[in-house]
C-alpha cells in the first residue's frame, strides 16, 4: 500500500484520534450479537497502547439520523472492548461535548476512551468542516482504521484529515493488502463468484472484474436477469427488466475478453419468498409460472465446484441464494465448503457473504474475510475510497 500506516510515523506519547468501524449488530436489548468488527480493531488499538498514546476512539453505529438515540449508543461497544483489551475503555456521554472533552484532556498515556456515536450529529454525514475540526481537536494524529466506512466521505472518515496528519491502522492496511494483491497480482486461474439480489448493484463490479478474472460464476437473484436476456422464463424470480440489455452487453463483453462466464444450470425454487415454503429443483429452461428461484441447484453446485477446484485465487461477493433461509442456503454453504478446502487465496467480500461464511463456521478457513461490504464492493469496482485517498502517501 502506498499510504502511510501507524508504523510509518512517530506516535510515542501522542494524542491520537482513531476512526474505527464499531457498527456491530445488536439485539433489541443492545447485546452485541457479532463482535468481529471489535476484534478486528484490536491490533491497532493495542499497538497505540504500547506506544503510550492517549487514545480517543470514534465510530458510527446504525443510522440515528443526526440525533441522540439511546439504542444507537456505543456504550455496549466500550464494555465489549474493555473485555477484549483487558483494560478499561472510558465511555463519553457525548460526541464533541464537555464530557468527551474533559475525559480526553485527562487521559493518561496508554488510556483508551470512546466518544459517542458520531452520527448523533447530522454534520457527520454532511462532512461539515467545523464538526470535523472539533473532532480533530481530540488528536495530534488521525488514524483511520474503519474499512467498512472508507467508501464514505464523512467528517470522521475524511473531514478530519484536513486538520491532522492522517495514517491508516492495521485493519485498513490488511484489507488493502488482500483485496489489492488479489486484484493486481492474482495467482491464476482467478475466479470470482458473484451473487446477491440485483444486477444493478453489481454492474460496476462485473464490469471491472471482467478485465481481471479468468472466470465468473454467477448466482443469486441476479441470475434471472441474465436468464431473461437468454430468453428463459423466470416465473416470479427477482428480475430487473430494465437491465436485460445490460445483461446481454456484459455477456458479450465476457466473450470478447475470453472470460468464461457461467450461469446456474439449475435452481431450487420456492412457491413463496419464505423460510418455510414448498420447494422444487428444476433446470434453467423449466422455471414454471408461480415459482421463484431462490438458490442454485445441485447440478450447478457440482459444476461450480469443479471450476473452483482449478482456482488459485477466488474472490466472492454476494450469496448465491437466499442464505438467510436455511432452505435456500445450500448453494452458498456448499461453495463456502469448497473454498475452505482449496489450496488457493480465498477472499470473501463483506456483508451477507461474510455473514453466511461465518454462520457456516468456515470464516477461519478463508484467506481473508473483509469487514466492509460496501467498501470492498467499491474497491473491487476500482473506485477510489475517500477514507483511504485522504491518508498521507508514503
For 186, the 3-state DSSP assignment is coil
Most distant CA atoms of the chain, gap in Å? 69
Choose between 87 and 274: whose C-beta lies nearer to ligand AMP: 274
How much helix, strand and coil, in percent to the nearest 5, is found in the chain? Answer: 40, 15, 45
Residue 287 binding ligand AMP, by CB under 6 A? no
Question: What minimum distance in Å lies between the beta carbon of 22 and ligand AMP?
Answer: 21
The residue with its CB nearest to ligand AMP is: 196
Residue 371 binding ligand AMP, by CB under 6 A? no
Question: What minimum distance in Å lies between the beta carbon of 275 and ligand AMP?
Answer: 11
Residue 386 binding ligand AMP, by CB under 6 A? no
Q: How many other CB atoms are found less than 10 A from the CB of residue 45?
A: 26
For 121, the 3-state DSSP assignment is coil
Question: What region, left, alpha or beta, does residue 358 occupy, with left being phi > 0 and alpha being psi -120 to 50 degrees?
Answer: alpha
Residue 220 binding ligand AMP, by CB under 6 A? yes
Residue 55 contacts residue 49 (beta carbons within 8 Å): yes
Question: What minimum distance in Å lies between the beta carbon of 204 and ligand AMP?
Answer: 12
DSSP state for residue 326 in the 8-state scheme: G
189 preceded by a cis bond (ω within 30 of 0): yes
For 139, the 3-state DSSP assignment is coil
Residue 160 binding ligand AMP, by CB under 6 A? no
- Which residue among 96, 352, 370, 385 contacts ligand AMP (CB under 6 A)? 352
Residue 351 binding ligand AMP, by CB under 6 A? yes
Q: Cite the active site residues.
A: 37, 198, 351, 374
Binding mask 171-200 for ligand AMP (x = CB under 6 A): ------------------------xxx---
Binding mask 317-336 for ligand AMP (x = CB under 6 A): -xx-xx-x------------
Question: What minimum distance in Å lies between the beta carbon of 238 and ligand AMP?
Answer: 5
* CA atoms lying within 13 Å on the CB side of residue 178: 24
Question: What minimum distance in Å lies between the beta carbon of 196 and ligand AMP?
Answer: 2
CA-to-CA distance for 249 and 239, rounded, in angstroms?
16
Residue 59 contacts residue 157 (beta carbons within 8 Å): no
First to last CA, the chain: 8
Binding mask 233-262 for ligand AMP (x = CB under 6 A): -----x------------------------
Residues at the site binding ligand AMP, with contacts judged by CB under 6 A: 195-197, 201, 220-221, 238, 293-294, 318-319, 321-322, 324, 351-353
Amino acid at each position: 500500500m502506498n499510504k502511510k500506516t501507524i508504523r510509518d510515523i512517530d506516535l510515542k506519547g501522542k494524542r491520537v484520534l482513531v476512526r474505527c468501524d464499531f457498527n456491530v449488530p445488536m439485539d433489541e436489548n443492545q447485546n452485541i450479537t457479532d463482535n468481529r468488527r471489535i476484534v478486528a480493531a484490536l491490533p491497532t488499538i493495542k499497538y497505540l497502547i504500547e506506544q503510550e498514546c492517549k487514545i480517543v476512539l470514534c465510530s458510527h453505529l446504525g443510522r440515528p439520523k443526526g440525533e441522540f438515540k439511546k439504542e444507537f449508543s456505543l456504550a455496549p461497544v466500550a464494555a465489549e472492548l474493555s473485555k477484549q483489551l483487558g483494560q478499561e475503555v472510558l465511555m463519553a456521554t457525548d460526541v464533541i461535548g464537555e464530557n468527551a472533552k474533559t475525559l480526553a484532556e485527562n487521559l493518561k498515556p496508554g488510556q483508551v476512551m470512546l466518544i459517542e456515536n458520531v452520527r448523533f450529529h447530522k454534520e457527520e454525514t454532511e462532512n461539515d468542516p467545523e464538526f470535523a475540526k472539533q473532532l480533530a481537536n481530540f488528536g495530534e494524529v488521525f488514524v483511520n482504521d474503519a474499512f467498512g466506512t472508507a467508501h464514505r466521505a464523512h467528517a470522521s472518515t475524511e473531514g478530519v484529515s484536513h486538520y491532522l496528519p492522517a495514517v491508516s491502522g492495521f485493519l485498513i492496511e490488511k484489507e488493502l493488502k488482500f483485496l489489492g494483491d488479489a486484484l493486481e497480482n492474482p495467482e491464476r486461474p482467478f475466479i470470482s463468484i458473484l451473487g446477491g439480489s440485483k444486477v444493478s448493484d453489481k454492474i460496476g463490479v462485473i464490469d471491472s472484474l471482467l478485465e481481471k478474472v479468468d472466470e465468473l460464476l454467477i448466482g443469486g437473484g441476479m441470475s434471472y436477469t441474465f436468464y431473461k436476456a437468454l430468453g428463459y422464463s423466470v416465473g416470479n424470480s427477482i428480475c430487473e427488466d430494465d437491465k436485460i440489455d445490460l445483461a446481454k452487453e456484459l455477456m458479450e463483453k465476457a466473450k470478447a475478453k475470453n472470460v468464461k462466464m457461467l450461469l446456474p444450470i439449475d435452481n431450487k425454487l420456492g412457491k413463496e419468498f419464505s423460510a418455510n415454503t414448498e420447494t422444487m429443483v428444476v433446470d434453467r429452461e423449466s422455471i414454471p409460472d408461480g415459482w421463484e428461484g431462490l438458490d442454485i441447484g445441485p447440478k450447478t453446485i457440482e459444476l461450480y465446484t469443479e471450476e473452483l477446484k482449478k482456482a488459485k485465487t477466488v474472490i466472492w461477493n454476494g450469496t448465491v441464494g437466499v442464505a438467510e433461509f436455511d432452505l435456500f442456503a445450500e448453494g452458498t454453504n456448499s461453495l463456502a465448503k469448497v473454498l475452505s478446502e482449496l489450496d488457493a487465496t480465498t477472499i470473501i467480500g463483506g456483508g451477507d457473504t461474510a455473514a453466511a461464511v461465518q454462520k457456516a463456521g468456515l470464516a477461519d478457513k478463508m484467506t481473508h474475510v473483509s469487514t466492509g461490504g460496501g467498501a470492498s464492493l467499491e474497491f473491487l469496482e476500482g473506485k477510489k475510497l475517500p477514507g483511504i485517498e485522504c491518508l498521507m502517501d508514503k
